[in-house]
Amino acid sequence: MLNDIIKMIPIYVMGRKYEVPQGLTILKAMEFAGYRVKRGCGCRGGVCGACVTLYRRKGTYQLNFGLACQTVIEPDMYLMQLPFVPAHKAIYTIKNVRANDSDVTKLYPELMRCLQCNTCTKACPMELDVMGYVAAAMRGDLEKVVELSIECVMCGVCAVRCPAELSPFNIALLIRRIYGKHVIPPSPQLDQRLKEIRGGEFRKEMEELEKADEAEILERFNEFQATKGEAAIELGKEKE
Amino acid sequence: MAYSVEFQESLEKIEASRNGRLGQGFPSLNLADKASLLETYHPDFRMAEKREIRVGPNRGGVAPKELVDLLESPSLLIPEAVDLTKVDSRTDVLVIGSGGGGVTAALTAREHGAEVLLATKLRLGDSNTIMAEGGIAAATLPEDSPVIHYVDTIVGGRGKNIPELVEALVNDAPFVVEWLTSLGVNFDRLPDGAYYAHMPAGHSRRRSHSVKDLTGLEFMRVLCDEVRNREIDVLEFSPAVELLLDDGGQCAGAVLFNFDTEEYFPVEAKATILATGGMGRLHPQGFPTSNHYGATADGLVMAYRAGAKLLYIDFVQYHPTGVAWPEQMLGLLVSEAVRAQGAQVVNVDGDMFVDRLETRDALSAAIIRECGEGGKGVLTPTGMVGIWLDTPLIDVMGGEGTFLRRFAGIHSRFKKYGIDPIHEPILVYPTQHYQNGGIRVNVDGETDIPNLYAVGEAAGGVHGHNRLGANSLVDIFVFGRRAGIHAAEKIGRVKIGKLSLDHIRAYNESLVETQIFSEISSPMLLPDYRFEKTLSTVQYTKGR
C-alpha cells in the first residue's frame, strides 16, 4: 500500500510524534497513526462538530481550532482533540419565549458582557462571524443572527475561548429557534393542506391506488410527470 | 491543492462546451432502457457481490456480503458477562440511536407521558440526518397532493413499497413540516411565509423543503436542543450491543456498552425503539460512503439475532454524486438539489450522456457505465475515477449569487481544498448512501418482536427497492412520531417477565450447527480505519 510516491511528514498527537503521509486530514492522520477514534469523530463530513481539534503549527505561538475531518495536516503540527465542551445551555419552552431581545437576555444575561474582542470569530473552525452575530443579538437584530450563524456546527469552541464566558453557539441556537417559530409568518398553503388531509380529501383516491396494478400506477405517474411544468428549475422565481 | 495539471485538459473541454450545453437537456430514459441499464450496471444487480444468509429469520435470502459477514458472526457480548438479576436501570421507553428518528421517537414518547431513556453510540445527534443537505419531501404546495407523492414514491421504489407505509408517509408528511416549523426550524421561505420547495429527481412536483444545503443540520440542532429542554435522559457513547428478551419472548430492553469505562450494563424497558440507521460504513461492494462514522448496521444485527425479519435488505442505494476529488472528501455527498438547480452531468470530453434528473439508481448506473465500458471518466491522481458535475451552470442560469445562496455549505467545504464550485465543476462518482431495506415494520414501527420498534433507515419497506431523494428526511419523522406515540400508549399494558439473553446463546449455537466459523464478532460498533486502511481507495467501475 505504502509506496515511494507518498511523502511522510511528522505530526504530534498529544505530544507524541508520528510519521504520516502528507495530504491527509487530521482525522485520517490520527487513524493512520493507529488511533481508533471514539470521541472526536462523527459525520466525517464537516457538519457535526464532533471532531474539533486544537492545534499549533511549529514556530508559531497561536493556538488554532479546526475540524479534524476537514483540516489537512502540516509538518510538525501539534494536535489535541476536544472530547467534550461543558458549555452552558439555558432550559426553556420555545413556545413561551417571545421574539424580543429581553427574553434572550433573560435566558442568557451574560450576553451583555461581550467584550467585542473577536476571539470567538478567530477561533471558529467554520470561519463564521461569531462576534458579528453576538453583536446582532445584543442589538436585538434576530434576522442577522440567523444569517450569520446558520452554518454553525455547534462544536462549542467559541464558548471555550470567550473571555466574557458566553456560549455564543447556544445563544444563536435560541435566537434561530425564536426566529423560525415566532418571526417567520405561517404558510396559509400548509394550513390548507393539513385541513384537506384531516378532512379525508385524498382518502378515496389513495384507496383506489392501493388496489391499482403496476400499469395503472405508471400511467398516473406519466400523467403527473407530464404536468410538472417548468417547476424543475425555478429560474428567477427564487426570492429571498 | 485545487485541480492539479492532470485535470486541466478535461476542464478546458468542459469550459468550451458549456455555452453549447446551456439550456440543452439529454433525453430521459424510457422504462425499458432504464430497466436494462440498471440490470447491467447497477451494483444491486451484481449477484456475485451478494451472499446467501445461512442462519436466522432470513435464511435462504441474500444480502450484501459485508452484512452477511456480521449476521453470520457470534455476538460481541458474552451472555454470562451480564448479571440480569441485578438491573439498575429501568425505563418505559428505551430509544437506541439519536439521529432524526430516535430523537423524534424520544420527544414524542415523552410528550405522550412516557419516561424515556435515549442511548446513543456517539454524541447526541451524531447521525446521517445531520448530514442531510437536500430537503424533506412533503406535499404542501397547492399544485401537489399526497396522492402524487404516493405515486412518485411507489414508482421510485420499483413498485415494491409496502402500500400502507407509503400512505402513512405521504399523509403525515405535511404535518411533520408543521411540527418542525413549530419547534423553530428555519425553513427556506418566501416573504409571505410560503415554503420554498424544490423538485428532486423522481418527484413530479416541487415538494422538497430545505434549509439552504444544511437541512439536516438545522433539524438536528433544533431537535437536540428540544431533547435538552425536555430534560430527557441521554446516554452518550453508550451503544446497544444486544437486545434483552423476557421469558415470554417479548423485547425487554437492551444491553448497553459504555465506551469510556468499557462496561456492559442492561437497561430494562417496556418498549424499545431501534433508530440505529444503516450499513454505509460496512462499505458494501467496496464503495465509498456518504454515511457518518457510526453507520455499521448494529440495529439490524441485534434485531436479527432476536428473531426479527429483514425486508429488502439486499437493496442498497448508491447516490450518483459522491465526491471523487479531492481525496479528503471522497464519498461525501453533493446534494441532488445541485442538479435540480441546473448542474449538468458531463464526461471527460465535456459531453452530456444522461439526463441530469434521472432517479438516483439510473444516474448511478449511467455514471458507472460511462466511467467503465464507456471509458469517458476522469482519472484522478489517486486512481479514483469520476464524472463532472457542471456547477458553474447554476449561476449562469440562475444569476450570480445563486450557488452561494443555495449551497453555502458545499461551497465552503470545497473552498477548503482550493476548489470553487461557483466557477469550476466538481468531480463525482456514485457513493453508498442509503440502505433501502431494513427491519420489517408496520405503520406504527412495530417489528415482528413484541415491544420492539424500528424507525428510519434501520426499518424497511416504505421505500421499496429504491428510495426517492428527500423521502428519508420525512420517513424518520413520520415513523419516529408514530412509534413514539404507539410505544407510549402501549407501555401501560406491558408486563415484563424474567430477563433473558438465551436468544444470543441459541443464535451462537445455530452458527456452530450450520458449520459457520466466523473470525469476527458483531455488532461492529465502529469501522476500523487504522494504519494502511486509512489510505485504501475504492474502485468500482465494472459492469456485470
First to last CA, chain A: 50
Which residues of chain B have a CB within 8 Å of the CB of A35? 530
Give the pLDDT confidence score for residue A134 in this predicted structure.
98
Task: Give the pLDDT confidence of A179-231 residue by residue, as tens digits.
Answer: 999 999 999 999 999 999 999 999 999 999 999 999 999 999 999 999 987 54
Alpha-carbon torsion angle B411, B414, B415, B418, nearest 10: -150
Q: At what angle do helices A168-178 and A142-149 cross, to 10 degrees?
A: 120
More confident residue, B164 or B379: B164
Task: Please state the φ and ψ torsions of residue B181, each to the nearest 5 degrees.
Answer: -65, -40
Nearest to A43 among B154, B167, B292 (CB): B292
Contact assignment for B186 to A91 by CB distance below 8 Å: no
Query: Are B167 and B248 within one domain?
Result: yes
Query: Are B101 and B225 within one domain?
Result: yes
Task: Give the pLDDT confidence of B382-408 residue by residue, as tens digits.
Answer: 778 899 999 999 999 999 999 999 898
DSSP B243: E
Give the pLDDT confidence score for residue B377 in this predicted structure.
94
Q: Which ipTM did the prediction report?
A: 0.95
Give the angle B532-B538-B539 at the CA atoms, nearest 5°.
Answer: 140
Distance CA B66, CA B64 (A): 5
**Mean per-residue pLDDT, B459-466:** 97
Query: Are B237 and B368 within one domain?
Result: no
Q: Are B326 and B1 in contact (CB under 8 A)?
A: yes
A227 in a domain, yes or no? Answer: no
The active-site residue out of B42, B339, B406, B481 is B339
The active-site residue out of B319, B463, B486, B503 is B319
Annotated active-site residue B305? The verdict is: no
A15 in a domain, yes or no? Answer: yes
Query: Are B323 and B350 within one domain?
Result: yes
Q: Can you give the residue range of the structural domain that contains A38?
A: 8-81
Q: What is the CATH number of the domain that holds B391?
A: 3.90.700.10
Residue B337 binned pLDDT confidence (cut-offs 50, 70, 90) = confident
| Residue in the block written with cell 442531510 | B132
- When scoring A152, A193, A209 by the number of chain B Cβ atoms within 10 A, the one with the most, hence best to mutate, is A193
What proportion of chain A, given as a percentage, has pLDDT over 70? 93
Nearest to A177 among B151, B225, B231 (CB): B225
Task: Give the pLDDT confidence of B97-116 residue by residue, as tens digits.
Answer: 999 999 999 999 999 999 99
Query: Are A109 and A179 within one domain?
Result: yes
Decide if A118 touches B, using CB distance below 8 A: no
Query: B141 pLDDT exceeds 60?
Result: yes
Q: Is A25 helix (H, G, I), strand (E, B) or coil?
A: strand
Annotated active-site residue B465? The verdict is: no
Give the pLDDT confidence score for residue A119 in this predicted structure.
97
Distance CA B311, CA B513 (A): 25
Query: Are B332 and B376 within one domain?
Result: yes
Q: How many angstroms separate the CA of residue B501 from the nearest CA in chain A?
A: 27
**Mean per-residue pLDDT, B204-228:** 96
Q: Can you give the residue range of the structural domain that contains B476?
A: 79-315+436-492
Q: Are B119 and B258 in contact (CB under 8 A)?
A: no
- When scoring B130, B325, B528 by the number of chain A Cβ atoms within 10 A, the one with the most, hence best to mutate, is B130
Cis peptide before B326 (omega within 30 of 0): yes
| pTM exceeding 0.80 | yes
Q: How many angstroms separate the CA of residue A114 from the nearest CA in chain B?
A: 23
Which residues of chain A have a CB within 8 Å of the CB of B181? 180-181, 184, 186, 190
Distance CA B378, CA B425 (A): 12
Q: Is B47 helix (H, G, I), strand (E, B) or coil?
A: helix
Distance CA B56, CA B71 (A): 8
- Cell numbers that stand for B190 in this block: 418566501
DSSP A107: H
Give the pLDDT confidence score for residue B163 in this predicted structure.
96
- Cell numbers that stand for A195 in this block: 385541513
Query: A234 pLDDT exceeds 60?
Result: no
**Mean per-residue pLDDT, B333-359:** 93
Give the pLDDT confidence score for residue B409 in this predicted structure.
84
Task: Give the pLDDT confidence of B69-88 residue by residue, as tens digits.
Answer: 999 999 999 999 999 999 98
Cβ neighbours of B166 (radius 10 Å): 26
**Mean per-residue pLDDT, B278-304:** 95
Domain-terminating residue out of B432, B460, B484: B432
Max CA distance (Å), chain A: 73
Contact assignment for B226 to A146 by CB distance below 8 Å: no
Which residues of chain A have a CB within 8 Å of the CB of B214? 47, 150-151
Q: How many angstroms separate the CA of residue B299 from the nearest CA in chain A?
A: 18
Q: What is the CATH number of the domain that holds B211?
A: 3.50.50.60
Cβ neighbours of A9 (radius 10 Å): 17
Domain count across chain B: 2
Query: Are B173 and B306 within one domain?
Result: yes
- Cell numbers that stand for A176 in this block: 434561530
Q: CA nearest B408 in A: which residue? A: A151
Contact assignment for A184 to B194 by CB distance below 8 Å: no
Distance CA B86, CA B266 (A): 9
Element spanning B64, H or E: strand B62-64
Nearest to A89 among B127, B189, B228 (CB): B228
Chain A 30-49, residues with CB within 8 Å of chain B CB atoms: 31-32, 34-39, 41-48
Nearest to B193 among A184, A202, A217 (CB): A184
Domain-terminating residue out of B474, B492, B510: B492
**Mean per-residue pLDDT, B194-223:** 94
Query: B216 pLDDT exceeds 50?
Result: yes
Which residues of chain B have a CB within 8 Å of the CB of A192? 142
Beta-carbon contacts of residue B124 (< 8 Å; ≥ 6 apart): B98, B103, B118, B224, B227, B234, B236
Give the pLDDT confidence score for residue B543 in this predicted structure.
39
Query: Are B145 and B292 within one domain?
Result: yes
Residue A101 binned pLDDT confidence (cut-offs 50, 70, 90) = low
Task: Please state the φ and ψ torsions of residue A72, each to the nearest 5 degrees.
Answer: -85, 140
Distance CA B327, CA B116 (A): 42
Q: At what angle do helices B215-229 and A168-178 cross, to 10 degrees?
A: 100
Query: Are B485 and B379 within one domain?
Result: no
- Which DSSP string do the residues of B477-505 spell out, in sequence order? HHHHHHHHHHHHHHGGG----SEE-HHHH
Give the pLDDT confidence score for residue A218 in this predicted structure.
94
Return the beta strands (E) in chain A as ranges: 8-13, 16-21, 52-57, 64-67, 77-81
Residue A22 binned pLDDT confidence (cut-offs 50, 70, 90) = confident
Query: B201 pLDDT exceeds 90?
Result: no
Query: Are B285 and B419 within one domain?
Result: no
Residue B536 binned pLDDT confidence (cut-offs 50, 70, 90) = low
Query: A99 pLDDT exceeds 90?
Result: no
B27 in a domain, yes or no? Answer: yes
Query: Are A145 and A175 within one domain?
Result: yes
How many contiguous H segments (helices) and E segments (strands) does chain B have?
Answer: 15, 21
Q: CA nearest B229 in A: which residue? A: A91
Domain-terminating residue out of A60, A81, A102: A81
Distance CA A182, CA A94 (A): 9
Query: B541 pLDDT exceeds 70?
Result: no
Query: A233 pLDDT exceeds 70?
Result: no
- Cell numbers that stand for B395 in this block: 449561476
Distance CA B274, CA B152 (A): 28
Give the pLDDT confidence score for residue B109 in this predicted structure.
98
Domain count across chain A: 2
Residue B380 binned pLDDT confidence (cut-offs 50, 70, 90) = confident
Q: Are B305 and B439 in contact (CB under 8 A)?
A: no
Task: Give the pLDDT confidence of A45-93 residue by residue, as tens digits.
Answer: 999 999 999 999 999 999 999 999 999 999 999 999 999 999 999 999 9
β-strand partners of B274? B96, B454
Domain-terminating residue out of B492, B520, B536: B492
Q: Are A159 and A85 in contact (CB under 8 A)?
A: yes
